Amino acid sequence: MTTTIANGTSTETTLRARSFVGLLVERGLASVEQARELLRECEKRRQPMGEVLLKQRKLSLRQVRHVLERQAETPDMRFGEIAVAEGMIGCEEVRQALTAQRTGTPHPAELLAEQHGDDPEYLRSLIRVLAEVNKAVESDIYALSMRLRSSC
């Protein structure tokens, strides 16, 4: 059984986090509404790309404002795409900023561990679900790497 959670969060929310939350619902560890709220909370804690690049001193405040203005005009483009297209930064700086952004955004399991830290059985259930998601991701990575090898 697959549970789909329409949550309205940005595409920045990782597929792995969504898979994890979907499994929580399937296993009865969270309701659909709790899952939506959990993803919204993760999204709220995500640092905007402009803020990350500003803190990394890759862009000035003036440049961030300029990119945000351009983004308002072309909402189909992401912040990093605009900054690269404008020649402000390169792709490697965007990759580094995305890594910092993901690292600074809590995984739903972290939020649940904060909320249920005094319930060892719930925490064990979280660990089992995380292990299941991790195994699926490893399997997908292996399958992709095999496809790449056969196409080269």
> Residue 27 falls within a domain, yes or no?
no
Write out the residue range of the structural domain in which residue 118 sits: 47-151
- How many domains is the chain built from? 1
Residue 1's pLDDT is what? 39
Structure tokens at 150: 């056969």
pTM more than 0.85: no
> Going residue by residue through the chain (152 aa), what tens digit of pLDDT does each one get?
333 444 433 333 444 556 888 889 988 888 999 999 999 998 899 999 999 999 999 999 999 999 999 999 999 999 999 999 999 999 999 999 999 998 888 888 999 999 998 999 999 999 999 998 888 878 878 888 888 777 65
List the structure tokens of 142.
Answer: 């292996």
Q: Which residue has the tokens 């909402």?
A: 75
Instruction: Please indicate, yes or no, if residue 19 is contained in any of the structural domains.
Output: no
